[in-house]
Structure 1
Amino acid sequence: MIPLSILDLAPVTEGSHAAQTFANTLDLARHAERLGYRRYWLAEHHNMPGIASAATAVLIGHVAGGTSDIRVGAGGIMLPNHAPLQVAEQFGTLASLYPGRIDLGLGRAPGTDQAATRALRRYYENANEFPADVVELLGYFEPATPGQAVRAVPGAGLEVEVWILGSSLFGARLAAVLGLPYAFASHFAPAQLVEAVDTYRREFRPSARLSRPHVMLALNVVVAETDEEAGRLFTTQQQAFVRLRRGSPGLVPPPLDSAAAINDWCSPVEKAGVDQALACAVVGSSETVRAGIQSFVENHRPDELLLTANIFEHAARVRSFELAMHAAAT
């Protein structure tokens, strides 16, 4: 069976608060560990009321400290927001506390709007500085050498699995030339999925970190007892996406009364945009999802899948990931 992992967007739902989100995150991570998921990733976002994972490294420590074996990491850290040395120190600290369990996915987008980017006070010319920042960061994880002026303490010589994240050919080529594993954001930006994965595999150069290309693809998966109920639960994610495109992100909304209700809730143009962005989605009963995951894997041949589900009720989200694992395993 292909390894499955979870991307948790740490949703803050309407009527809830961040403290409850963090409790839910740890609860879901513990379920994921028992179910056999390989990784549990959290993503850096800022200035978004419905996502509570802004202090990503802190939340990773919370999850890793409350679990035993599952790998925990960032999917990802938005490197333009941070000095590479600071990231190396943070993840060196995590790797010291939880050896052999920490992943560091790196992205080149700020993960926020322009106002919040300015407020973060990390000034850079443009995202083309990203490759140099990645190389600098990787250097801090190498064993320190005599006379080295700056070193990551802790960090130097520690095992931190570094990934490149992307939704375009830029990240695919960078991951290939550096010999790093590659995770593609097909869960919200699937347009260049095929071309990016093909480019990464074709241009991959073996490195000390990785001898052959390794791809993880993100997939929206919502599972319930029936296709109809899963479709209804999925309207939470559809609404959240439309609100983001409207420029008014808020707390994560409850689902609509039915899957079809989304057609009345938003305009046809907005619905078309949602369908395009969330095209990599498998929604339905266990039987439907089993067939959907199998088809996605056959079409794209990933080495791993990163499942995500923005479901309003925590119990339904936990149940969805439970059913998804069982569906993929049979």
Structure 2
Amino acid sequence: MTSVPLSVLDLAPVPSGGTAAGALRDTVDLAQHVERYGYRRFWLAEHHLVPGVASSSPAVLIASVAAATRRIRVGSGAVLLGQHTPLQVAEDFGTIAQLHPDRIDLGLGRSGLAKFVELAKAALDREPDDVPATPPEPVLVDGLPVPRTARGGSLSRARAQRLEAHVRLLGGTGQPEYDEQVRDVLAFLDGTFRDTDGQEARAVTAEQALLQVWVLGASAGPSSRAAGALGLPFVSNYHVTPGTVLDSAASYRESFVPSARLDRPYLVVSADVLVADDDATARELAKPFAGWVHDIRYGDGAQPYLTPAEADRRTWTAPERAVVADRLQTRIVGSPDTAVERLEVLRRVTGADELLITTITHDHQDRLRSFELLAKAWAAAGH
């Protein structure tokens, strides 16, 4: 059996009744634990202006996590280039890498906020009959569920207007093409950047920094093509848009050109996973997830993560269930044996070289336990 490493993607989730400070401390604690469990990387996401996620400044948090750990690679999953300049990104991550050489991963992503506003506006124009009453059945590809996403949901006009304001606040408009931004980051790291007039510009903290550059994406679009064309490793976000995982992987491989950084495609696939001692316990802990996803997609963004008892008190309509079904159908929830079996299917069908695991629970100890159980079961399976 091919040995496939596991890595971690964390959002520093804020639990109901908790605080951002507590969530950040839990993230550092989680990194220390998963390092002992044998995970290869610990990555931090970037989210803004929502009360349920504390990982809004990945470079700052990565520096703290790197200082609190010894061996595990630490990085971004992903820093959003639509909200930063390439110079800022190169200098921030170069600085961290100079202090923690050959341990830092710079994962680059596109800002999805502007696109989300467009989808939100379209949703406001839909007639109620356009919202599905039942979730579409996923397509099974050699045992892997590849769902069709149901579009719809109840998004208020006020929410759409707030999102538009957020795009302006975060600098989400008027950005260069994505591949151009990635090329600029690489040029600053390589010491080869030239401005539009051909003048040299040097980012001294970025140059000769020992770090790895990655691209993260969710579809067969600019991200997968940029990763391939520039010869970079690529992460396909099965946990965000599971219906496009095979298309994005194929696009990356078809676009790949060997580079000084990478001589063959290297694909990582993310997965949302929750492991407990048995399937029933895992399903109980997983109850708040549907509401979390619905708030992200159609509400006011990620809210503090509920307890299972709080989640039981939420009422649902059939259309609300339908529009989050793709995430529920593809979240891996169960005992260690269940999780390993489903992750092996994901790895086999996608051909992933590595799997990136994200786990969210209300209680921090349940999250630690999930990663511990998975690591032991994955190693026992020969990985």
| TM-score of Structure 1 vs Structure 2, range by shorter chain | over 0.9
Instruction: Go from structure 1 to structure 2 and tell me whether the alpha carbon gap of 1:46 and 1:145 turns closer, same or farther (over 3 Å shift).
Output: closer
Q: State whether residues 40 and 73 of structure 1, in contact with CA within 8 Å, keep that contact through their aligned partners in structure 2.
A: yes
2:111 partner amino acid? A
Matched-pair identity in %: 41
Per-residue CA deviations over 1:268-318 (Å, capped at 9, x if unaligned) read 222222221344321101121121112222221200000011111000000
Q: State whether residues 60 and 74 of structure 1, in contact with CA within 8 Å, keep that contact through their aligned partners in structure 2.
A: yes
Moved more, 91-100 or 231-240: 231-240
Task: Quote how far apart the aligned CAs of 1:106 are.
Answer: 0.8
RMSD across aligned positions (CA)? 2.1
SS at match of 2:186: helix
Task: Quote how far apart the aligned CAs of 1:148 are.
Answer: 6.1
SS at match of 2:78: strand
Q: State whether residues 81 and 110 of structure 1, in contact with CA within 8 Å, keep that contact through their aligned partners in structure 2.
A: no
1:174 partner amino acid? A
Task: Quote how far apart the aligned CAs of 1:55 are.
Answer: 1.0
Question: Whole-Å Cα distance in 1 between the matches of residues 293 and 53 of structure 2?
Answer: 13
Per-residue CA deviations over 1:160-217 (Å, capped at 9, x if unaligned) read 2111110011111111111110001110201111111112112211001110000100
Question: Whole-Å Cα distance in 2 between the matches of residues 307 and 145 of structure 1?
Answer: 35
Match of 1:157 among 199, 204, 208: 208
Consecutive unaligned residues in structure 1, runs of 5 or more: none
Question: Whole-Å Cα distance in 2 between the matches of residues 163 and 194 of structure 1?
Answer: 19
Task: Give the length in aligned residue pairs.
Answer: 325
1:272 correspondence with 2:322: yes
Q: State whether residues 40 and 70 of structure 1, in contact with CA within 8 Å, keep that contact through their aligned partners in structure 2.
A: yes
Task: Quote how far apart the aligned CAs of 1:103 are.
Answer: 0.5
Q: State whether residues 184 and 193 of structure 2, in contact with CA within 8 Å, keep that contact through their aligned partners in structure 1.
A: no
Task: Quote how far apart the aligned CAs of 1:248 are.
Answer: 2.3
Match of 1:251 among 304, 308, 331: 304
Consecutive unaligned residues in structure 2, runs of 5 or more: 115-162
Match of 1:98 among 97, 100, 110: 100
* TM-score for both structures, normalised by structure 2: 0.80
1:114 correspondence with 2:167: no
Moved over 4 A (4+): 144-148
Partner of 1:79: 81
Partner of 2:183: 135
2:177 partner amino acid? E
Question: Whole-Å Cα distance in 2 between the matches of residues 201 and 45 of structure 1?
Answer: 28
Task: Quote how far apart the aligned CAs of 1:110 are.
Answer: 4.5
Question: Whole-Å Cα distance in 1 between the matches of residues 210 and 295 of structure 2?
Answer: 40
Q: Which has the higher contact order (CA 8 A, sep 6+)?
A: 2
Match of 1:303 among 342, 349, 353: 353
Larger radius of gyration: 2
Task: Quote how far apart the aligned CAs of 1:57 are.
Answer: 0.4
Partner of 1:5: 7
Partner of 1:125: 174
SS at match of 2:77: strand
* TM-score for both structures, normalised by structure 1: 0.93
Partner of 1:329: 379
Task: Quote how far apart the aligned CAs of 1:109 are.
Answer: 1.8
